Amino acid sequence: MTGKLGLDPALVGRARELARRAGQPVVDLARSHTTVSVERAVLRLAGVSGADPDGIPWVNRLVDAVVADVGLGHGVAVPVFDALAREGVSDVTLLAQKAAAGSVRFGVPSGRAASAARRGSRRAVAAGIRRIDRRRAERDRLVRRFGDPARRPWIYLIVATGDIYEDIPQAQAAARAGADVIAVIRSTGQSLLDYVPEGATREGFAGTYATQENFRLMRAALDESSRELGRYVRLTNYASGLCMPEMATLAGLERLDMMLNDSMYGILFRDINPIRTFVDQRFSRQVHARAGIIINTGEDNYLTTADAVDEAHTVTVSQLLNEFFAHEAGLADWQLGLGHAFEINPDVPESLRLELAHALLARELFPDAPLKWMPPTKHMTGDVFRGNLLDGFFNLVGAMTGQGILLVGMMTEAVVTPWLSDRDIALQNVRYVLGAAGGLHEDFVPASGGFIQQRANRVLGEAVDLLERIGDQSLLTAIAEGTFGIMKRPADRGKGLSGVARHEGDYYNPATEILELSA
């Protein structure tokens, strides 16, 4: 028995082994398939940029043209760089424009032409990956120059005006008020767009569009805040939905620090095809690993549809699966912002002790991961006084259990999009609790054999039972049967399935080749 919860090391090891067994077939599936978004990400690394007059990115036009001529299963790198040589064009964006006009046809070359196309695509993609490497080195320099926050957890706060030029001053104000991480919420529905919009955007419902220019503008603004405040302020956005690999690539190019990147969120809550999601997820995590980006997983969302007590073990199972997928893709423990949440109905007897058990279980299972601790949302009623008290409990549990990233809860959750004054009061709550009890995790040890230890061990046992059942069937079957978040998502349905292809024998992806060599 080890740690504060007296967990059985053999049972913990069994849980990880079962997660590996459940996840490996999915990894094998991802390694043998590609998607239109993976191929678009490859071409973005090779230098394709911009959009046509209708706002459709040239990278979409180019991939669509290749697919129309030769399909997706060969990958697009070789057909595109073969066409560049044949057409005598040196600029891939110009080739995309010619392809959109119908003046270029694509083929699958063989022999010397194929070898030359492979070499050319690898050189171009390697240049893009070197840009990501330079942005990672730049982050390291800025963290050394400005410093990290003096204490943990990092305070994580959301901005979501729908206008990037209004998000910026709100983000800077939040940083001055104490936020360490700014998350720019993405416009509702963007996850189902099969392209990444271009340019700075000023319209969006419940958030701003995730675009490369919006990433650049916000990162530059937070660099100003970092210089002003003398601490590095981190920036979060989304690598999810139908353009997950491209989002990850653009984040690496623009030095974002964290990305929301769950293995199953898009499947469960956006009805995106499971195979599409797992293929896209593996590539995006390889990019995150290279870029030094911390991922935030979305287990908290399961508890908004399922009961947080009855289904607590599904959160643990998902965390173990996310850990396996992340390690396989090359991410280190310090990059795993595994999610969990304070979502137990406060009317349930001993709800605070149950929350303590669940939060401490996550901390003990993943001691080197930052963990992203999410505030109450499901049982916020609009009573702002009750909401502020619940947020205080949430902050206290975060302090007692040593969470790494603490999202600031809003007392007006489920009532209005927070006003600046709401955020100020919420930050006061966080500052008061962390100031008064920030080191309490050093002293807090549950009673041996008591309620909290028993509950944590029970959840771990139920997680192992579920992983054994998943191993008897498959993870895709478990997802189809509604095991996570009570959403049933069969592998042969869902959005984006038409953009998935099995690798042909000559499939080539220079980005994957480079990223796997460095892992």
- Point out the residues that are catalytic: 265, 300, 372
DSSP string, 153-173: SEEEEEE--S-HHHHHHHHHH
* Residue among 512, 475, 367 nearest 21 (CA): 475
519/517 Cα distance (integer angstroms): 6
At 258 the three-state DSSP class reads strand
Specify which residues 356 forms β-bridges with. Answer: none
Q: How far is CA 154 from the centre of its chain?
A: 17
Contact present, 300 and 339 (Cβ < 8 Å) = yes
Q: Which two tokens stand for residue 5?
A: 């919860």
DSSP string, 323-384: HHHHHHHT--GGGEE-EEE--S-TTSTTHHHHHHHHHHHHHHHSTTS--EEEPP-TT--S-H
Q: How far is CA 279 from the centre of its chain?
A: 14
38/511 Cα distance (integer angstroms): 10
At 274 the three-state DSSP class reads helix
Q: Which two tokens stand for residue 347?
A: 């009317």
Q: Which two tokens stand for residue 263?
A: 């293995």
Gyration radius (Cα) of the chain, Å = 23
**Alpha-carbon torsion (410, 222, 230, 255), positive or negative:** positive
Please, which residues have CB within 8 angstroms of residue 346's CB and are 6 or more apart in sequence? 376, 379, 390
Contact present, 257 and 203 (Cβ < 8 Å) = no
Instruction: Indicate the residue type of 201.
Output: T
Q: Is 199 exposed, middle or buried (0-12, 13-18, 19+ CB in 10 A)?
A: middle
Contact present, 302 and 264 (Cβ < 8 Å) = no
Contact present, 251 and 239 (Cβ < 8 Å) = yes
Q: Which element (helix H / strand E) includes 314?
A: helix 312-329
Q: Which two tokens stand for residue 226?
A: 């970092």
Q: Which element (helix H / strand E) includes 35?
A: strand 33-35
* Residue among 185, 182, 165 nearest 226 (CA): 182
Please, which residues have CB within 8 angstroms of residue 89's CB and are 6 or more apart in sequence? 83, 95, 98
